[in-house]
Amino acid sequence: MGFEGALADKPWYRPTFYAIMALATVAAVALNLIGIDPIRALFMTAIINGLVAPPLLVLIVLLGTDRGIMGKRTSGWVSRSLTWTATAVMSVAAVALLTTLIRR
């Protein structure tokens, strides 16, 4: 979104930055008051990221090899091989996780 700011800036110079910081703090306090365990929330977020990563990696490889999008800067064979390998490993890990969760 192009928002700039840092904690070293005065609030009246970067009001949007400080408003976002205040909103995030209020959200964190609300989650704490509701009783959500922050470590469990981080763990669940990591699980969701692990499940979403393989499809995104497939899209990255397909976009990187498309000459219509990338022009003459398409991915080379080394990059494609490594990305497909990472995609396969992440997919196996996601399937293993889902299998483990379903077996419980």
Taking 90 as the threshold, does the pLDDT of residue 88 lie above it? Answer: yes
CA 87/CA 81 separation, integer angstroms: 10
Question: Which DSSP state fits 104?
Answer: -
- What is the reported pTM? 0.67
For 12-62, what is each residue's pLDDT tens digit?
888 888 899 999 999 989 988 999 888 888 999 999 999 999 999 999 999
Q: Which residue has tokens 């910081």?
A: 21
- Structure tokens given for 74: 């398409």
pLDDT at 72 over 70: yes
Q: Which pLDDT value is given to residue 10? A: 85
Tell me the domain boundaries of the chain: 1-36, 37-103
Which pairs count as long-range contacts for 54-60, CB under 8 Å and 24+ apart, including other chains? 54/87, 54/90, 54/91, 54/94, 57/83, 57/86, 57/87, 57/90, 58/87
